Amino acid sequence: DQQVKQNSPSLSVQEGRISILNCDYTNSMFDYFLWYKKYPAEGPTFLISISSIKDKNEDGRFTVFLNKSAKHLSLHIVPSQPGDSAVYFCAASLYNNNDMRFGAGTRLTVKP
C-alpha cells in the first residue's frame, strides 16, 4: 500500500524554465513533508520540507506547496538548471514518528 505516490516517473524541461514535480498522499494524518534529491551513485540529500501548518515554503529557487484538502504537494524549481537533473523523492511522516514514507521518485532532466 503506497501511501505516497509520484505518478510521473520522469519529467523533461528546458534550462531556465519552471520544473513542477508532483506528489500525492493518502494518509491525512501525515503532517510533515520533505523533498529529497538523488544523483546517480549517491544517497538522497535533503532539499526542502514543509509542515502541515503551512501551505508554502521557499528556499532560493525551490518552493514547496502543500494542499491539505487535496492531499497534494508540489515542488517548483525556478529557474531550472542542468545541475538540477536528478531523481526527486517526496516523503511524508507523522510528527515525532520514525516511519517516513517515500514516493517512487521522479527523474528530472533539464536540457541546456
Partner 1 sequence: DVKVTQSSRYLVKRTGEKVFLECVQDMDHENMFWYRQDPGLGLRLIYFSYDVKMKEKGDIPEGYSVSREKKERFSLILESASTNQTSMYLCASSLTSGRYTQYFGPGTRLTVL
- At 44, which helix (H) or strand (E)? none
Q: Among 19, 102, 108, 110, which residue interacts with partner 1 (rule: CB under 8 A)?
A: 102
Q: Could you tell me the smallest distance in angstroms from the CB atom of residue 60 to partner 1?
A: 17
The bridge status of strand 19-25 relative to strand 4-5 is: antiparallel
Helix (H, G, I), strand (E, B) or coil at 83: helix
Q: Tell me which of 34, 77, 86, 110 binds partner 1, using CB under 8 A.
A: 34
16 CB contacts (<8 Å, ≥6 apart)? 79, 80
Is 86 an interacting residue with respect to partner 1 (CB under 8 A)? no
Query: Least CB distance from residue 80 to partner 1, whole Å?
Result: 23
The stretch among 1-9, 11-19, 57-65, 73-81 that binds partner 1 (CB under 8 A) is 1-9
Half-sphere exposure of 67 (CA within 13 A, CB side): 10
Q: Would residue 82 be called left, alpha or beta, if left means φ above 0 and alpha means ψ between -120 and 50 degrees?
A: alpha
User: What residues from 40 to 69 belong to the interface with partner 1 (CB under 8 A)?
Assistant: 41-46, 49, 51
What residues line the site for partner 1 (CB under 8 A)?
Answer: 2, 4, 6, 9, 32, 34, 36, 41-46, 49, 51, 89, 91, 95-96, 98-100, 102-105
